[in-house]
A and B are shown apart, each in its own frame.
Chain A
Amino acid sequence: MLRLYRSLLRLYPATYRDEFGPEMTSVFVQARQDIREQSLLRRGFFYIREAGGLLSGAAHSHLGYALGSDWPQFRRFNMHRQFRFPRSTVFLMCVILAGVALAIDKAQHVQANLSGAQLRTATAAPLILTFIIVYIAAAAGWGILFALRKTGMHRLDEVE
């Protein structure tokens, strides 16, 4: 994990990394020692939080360097509590992404197998492929709608 942490640190601008990198790594190592005895779930949340913090921190610092003082300060924390993404949404989005990637991989595999037997099943192949694509699109659409529902987007209608 330390190697992954250091890899993610490389996403930061070099000046930022030189200034804070060793300190951040040291704090991460200490924090990791604290949760070593805790449950797998808590450790999982810890690593996800750290990875998310580094990714968003790197994006913010790049924007900060690019835009200078025009970049709104502490913007991330200013979001109203009701409109923040619940933690479960991040997990759900990861599951959906993994599902879509897996489905694409399977579809490619099926397509490759069909091309070998194309002469035998010339009429069946397009139908199967269409069915797979429609199925993937429907699953992805349902997943996106479900994730949006989890974010609380529908509550926007209740805001005056």
Chain B
Amino acid sequence: MTEPVLLVLLSLAEQPRHGYSILKDVEHMSAGRVVLSTGTLYGALQRLLAQGWIERFENDDTSRDKRSYRLTAKGRHNLQAEIDRMRHLTRLAGLRVARKEA
């Protein structure tokens, strides 16, 4: 899983969001390092929808132009697996670097 996709999933893990909110949240989470274009964002959203990791739903207070997205159980499970993998990798990296320095 790549960083922009991970950030999109993390953004949706907190709460359901519409496109613009995801765009701003990704920028905020990465401290401005990852700035997605609308083409890139919707390309990722389309693939995540096709894979069943996220789902789209209509809010009562939003129009067709502002549909919201949320994580599915499958998406949350895969996100958790990715976080576990990264946690393991970070711990391993810390150990290896510490051993080298000692």
Contacts and interface: CB of A to CB of B under 8 A. Distances in A.
B81 to A, nearest CB: 16
Interface stretch (B59-67, B83-91, B92-100): B59-67
B78 interface: no
Contacts of A16: 46
Nearest to B64: A22
Q: Kindly state the interface size class of chain B when it binds its partner.
A: 20 to 34
A130 interface: no
B38 A60 contact: no
Given A22-B64, A25-B65, A57 B39 contact: yes
Instruction: Name the prevailing secondary structure of the B interface residues.
Output: helix
B88 to A, nearest CB: 20
A56 B42 CA distance: 12
Nearest to A26: B65
Number of contact residues on A: which range applies?
A: 20 to 34
Interface string A6-30: 0000000000100110111111101
Interface of A: 16, 19-20, 22-28, 30-31, 49-50, 52-58, 60-61, 64, 73-74, 76-78
Given A20-B46, A49-B35, A53-B41, 14 more contacts: A20-B42, A23-B64, A24-B39, A26-B65, A27-B19, A27-B20, A27-B38, A50-B38, A52-B39, A53-B37, A53-B38, A53-B43, A61-B46, A74-B1
